[in-house]
Chains A and B, each alone.
Chain A
Amino acid sequence: MLSALTQLLIFQLAGEFVARSLTLPIPGPVLGMLFLFFALLLRQGPSAELQTSSQSLLQHLSLLFVPAGTGIMLHLHRVAAEWLPLLLSLLISTTVTLIITALVMKLCQRNAGATGDTA
């Protein structure tokens, strides 16, 4: 657990360092995730320890959103003032995203089949 957590922190630190020093617009931890992903490709898989530790960390992932989510109490006036555009945006955007993603994949799969591609 300890060495896996240390590994995760090192990758996060590397991500933060690269994001800040190159002033990239990507969040440091996301860059850290990509670094770890490529490291896993090179190492051909995580160690058993890293796998169990990240599993237990991700199992209670929702807990980690609670402190930030509670920060909504500072912005309740904004939600009260803009609830209609917020609700419509989420409702329409989620539906359209589901449809477009599925349609594009379906079309792409059909074309791949027509050209005899095994994909």
Chain B
Amino acid sequence: MTQDIGQIWVYLAASPLMGLTITLLAYQGAFRIYQRSGCNPLANPVLIAVTALVVFLSITGTAYETYFAGAQFVHFLLGPATVALAVPLYMQMKRVRAMLWPVLAGLLAGSLTAIGSAVLVGRLFGASETTQLSLAPKSVTTPIAMGIAERIGGIPSLTAVLVIVTGILGALGARWVFDAMRLRDPAIRGFAIGVASHGIGTARAFQVNEQSGAFAALAMGLNGALTALLVPALARWMPL
């Protein structure tokens, strides 16, 4: 018995199996491209996978809601993964004790700068209020940033993309900025990358220097927690 291919497509496109499968396929394909490029930050796997999926869904005329019915099973794991960030954070504790005050001061200054400058520059150049709110948590790791955006009335999926672009900018530009500042200390270089550009910057820092990578990972975790406290408080006290 042969069924019309069109009918099969209609059935499959509406089933959660489809969304889940194409998510995993797109990501694995994107990750292979990233590895082949020698882990070039421009070939960020999330950026490639998202682009491929948006093109695919648009061409096939599939609604995002239909796609998400399947993709939500992957999305759900963001929660436990955020909780799991506590483990690498704990593993870095010994290194922090040795540099406690510079780390705390740099964290507070960097976190406030990241939030404030993103919102102010956006406002200055005419970004809408919702867009400004989506920009505020752009320097922290995606699961935390999306949670913050949702809480303060930004658009989580816009924030997710802004976070990725921020990570790529930091990973590409940090070396140039630090060299211009004549800053050589790998601990400080790593920590500043982690504060400004979270996991993507951290991955880059690990490639350059082990100590830089450890401090970047620490900064990413600490800034995630601090930004989650600061952004909602700032949004309440300084209405846009």
Contact = CB atoms under 8 A, between A and B. Distances in A.
A interacts with B: yes
Contacts of B102: 104-106, 108-109, 112, 119
Most B-side CB within 10 Å, residue of A15, A70, A108: A70
Given A41-B90, A104-B110, A84 B125 contact: yes
A119 B187 CA distance: 14
Given A70-B50, A102-B106, A85 B127 contact: yes
Interface string A33-56: 110110011000110001101110
Interface of B: 19, 23-24, 26-27, 31, 45-46, 49-50, 53-54, 57-58, 64, 67-68, 71-72, 74-75, 77-90, 93, 98-103, 105-107, 109-110, 113-114, 117-119, 121-122, 124-128, 130-131, 135, 138-139, 142-144, 146-148, 150-152, 155-158, 160-162, 164-166, 169-170, 173-174, 177-178, 181, 183, 185, 188-189, 191-193, 195-197, 199, 219, 224-225, 228-229, 232-233, 235-236
Nearest to B224: A30
Contact of A97 (B45, B46, B81, B114): B114
Given A70-B57, A82-B127, A106-B185, A98 B90 contact: no
Given A26-B229, A112-B102, A85 B126 contact: yes
Given A32-B82, A33-B82, A119-B99, A66 B225 contact: no
Contacts of A97: 110, 113-114, 117, 139, 192, 195-196
Contact of A58 (B24, B54, B88): B88
Contacts of B49: 66, 69
Contacts of A82: 126-128, 131
A99 B183 CA distance: 10
B82 A75 contact: no
Contacts of B158: 72, 75, 78-79
A94 to B, nearest CB: 5
Contacts, number: 315
19 contacts: A9-B79, A12-B82, A25-B151, A28-B79, A41-B90, A65-B142, A65-B164, A66-B71, A67-B68, A73-B58, A90-B162, A94-B173, A100-B110, A101-B107, A104-B110, A105-B103, A105-B191, A106-B185, A109-B99
A108 to B, nearest CB: 4
Nearest to B76: A64
Contact of B101 (A33, A57, A99, A108): A108
Contacts of B143: 29, 64-65
Contacts of B85: 33, 58
B99 A101 contact: no
A22 interface: no
B125 A27 contact: no
Given A29-B147, A79-B158, A104-B105, 8 more contacts: A30-B225, A33-B84, A66-B26, A89-B121, A98-B174, A101-B196, A102-B192, A105-B103
